[in-house]
Structure 1
Amino acid sequence: MSLKKKLGLGVASAALGLALVGGGTYAYFNDTEVTNNTFAAGTLDLSVDPTTIIEVDNIKPGDWMNRSFELINDGSLDISKVLLDTDYTVTDADGNNVEDFGDHIRVNFFWNADKTTLGPVSPDQIVFFTTLSELKDMSPDTVANNVFVPWIEERGGLEAGDSDTLYVQFEFVDNGEDQNEFQGDSLELTWKFTGEQTAGESK
């Protein structure tokens, strides 16, 4: 057999092999389906009404001020825990303070109005009390465990679309001693509330 015929036969054999391989690729049945999936995250939206809980002038030792405010869950997710951060600044009118004005302002947290019918004015309804200076130094978790657990967590948290009315009393404690250094002073209090989600669950 001539070289030309051998080359021609080799090329033909190779072409046949490729055709068989190619044909084998499309010899299996197949079917394709496409799924469209969505992950949409919920929202946490905690608000406080009113945003100014207390604004009072001309207080003196022995005065107390009862105030109420609402914690509102405007989000789509339930809130399991509310954390509270406290900060304040004191303006010393005469520049003669040797003590912290925040040591003399006591905060009395009352039971949640949604859980009591007696009215938030009786001392036996105080769930927790502390001074502003102590509250400022507390961790948010400590405040939550002492204040908001009795308010919120007993009923499983603050559900989406729900609100809680809370009562608090501020007291300028009369300690029976000379407190003249605080005359004319002012204290600016900032409370920052943070809502935390509930635990993850099967969806």
Structure 2
Amino acid sequence: MSLKKKLGAGVATAVLGLGLIGGGVFAYFSDSEVSNNTFAAGTLDLALNPTEIINVDNIKPGDTMLRPFTLSNNGTLDIKTVDLSTGYTVNDVGSNNSEDFGKHIRVNFLANADKLTTPIWSTTLADLQNASPELVHEKFWLVFWEERGLAPNTSDTFYVQFEFVDNGEDQNEFQGDSLNLEWTFNAKQGEGQAK
């Protein structure tokens, strides 16, 4: 190796050594903080009591059946609205029905026991099943709760009256028939908020 190359390697080694020594000599202040954050979602938990609102047999035209039910908010978030959807099936004994049995069962939605003679909303099961969600929301939710909703750990009790309407005509085709009603209550949250 030539002297020139040896001198160049020595100078490079010296510069590297000084750089390492110099880097260890500089000192500065520092500080740090750690942020631990949590996002916990709330819950919507609508409860219905009783889950079977009505179970009755041997009804005849003109009979009325009053039943209470309670909707409770067992969650941690406000329930802003509850939508009601209706479905039913008819068991036609003898397969002789010319009409839908649901057209002869009227539902009278009653606010409370003190207002039993004045239903807030009356409709047949057939009309209720075929009603638009907007109409049901307007009649069912807005009338019962008036945009108040259900706060966590609260409940509201409602009264509903079912009536086998006596239309003054021959209704023999419904003898022995049964109707299975399914009501689905769908709870929805309100608008998001700044927190």
- Tell me, yes or no, whether TM beats 0.5: yes
Residues 142 and 16 of structure 1, relative CA distance in 2, 3 Å threshold: farther
Question: Does structure 1 retain, via aligned residues, the 8 Å contact 2:49–2:71?
Answer: yes
User: C-alpha distance in 1, partners of 2:72/2:34?
Assistant: 42
Q: Deviations over 1:37-74 (max 9, x none)?
A: 11221111111111111111111112211111111111
State how 1:95-114 maps to structure 2 within 5 Å: 95-111=95-111, 113=112
Q: Distance in 1 between matches of 2:161 and 2:8?
A: 106
Equivalent in the alignment of 1:2: 3
- Per the TM alignment, residue 121 of structure 1 is displaced from its structure 2 partner at its CA by 1.6
- Residue 64 (structure 2) pairs with residue 64 (structure 1): yes
Aligned to 2:126: 133
Q: Deviations over 1:128-152 (max 9, x none)?
A: 1211011112244431221121212
Contact 2:84 2:140 (C-alpha < 8 Å) held by counterparts: no
Q: Is the 8 A contact 2:78 2:149 kept in 1?
A: yes
Residue matched to 2:116: 121
Q: Deviations 1:130-184 (Å, cap 9, x if unpaired)?
A: 1101111224443122112121234x21111111110111111122222111111
Equivalent-residue separation in structure 1 for 2:36 and 2:76 (angstroms): 24
For 2:53 and 2:174, the matched residues in 1 are separated by: 22
1:194 lines up with 2:195 in the alignment: no
Number of aligned residue pairs:
193
Which of residues 11, 14, 32 is equivalent to 1:12?
14
Q: How does 1:105-184 map to 2 (within 5 A)?
A: 105-111=105-111, 113=112, 119-123=114-118, 126-154=119-147, 156-184=148-176
Pick closer, same or farther for the CA change 1:162–1:53 going to 2, 3 Å.
Answer: same
Q: Partner of 1:184: helix, strand, or coil? A: coil
Aligned residue type for 1:134: D
Contact between 1:85 and 1:139, CA under 8 Å: does it hold in 2? no
In structure 2, C-alpha distance between the alignment counterparts of 1:47 and 1:122, rounded to whole Å: 28
What percent of counterpart residues are identical? 55
Moved more, 2-11 or 78-87: 2-11
Query: TM-score normalised to the size of structure 2?
Result: 0.89
1:175/1:30 CA distance change after superposition, 3 Å: same
Contact 2:109 2:120 in 1 (8 A): yes
**TM-score, normalization by structure 1:** 0.86
Superposition CA RMSD, Å: 2.0
- Secondary structure (helix, strand or coil) at the match of 1:119 reads helix
User: 1 CA distance for matches of 2:120 and 2:24?
Assistant: 81
Looking at structure 1, the residues matched to 153 and 133 of structure 2 have their Cα atoms a distance apart, in angstroms, of 24
Contact 1:80 1:153 in 2 (8 A): no
In structure 1, distance between residues paired with 2:130 and 2:93: 24
Q: Please name the residue that 1:54 is paired with.
A: 54
Amino acid at match of 1:130: T
Structure 1 position 27, deviation (Å)? 4.2
Q: Which consecutive residues of structure 1, in runs of 5 or more, have no partner in the other structure?
A: none
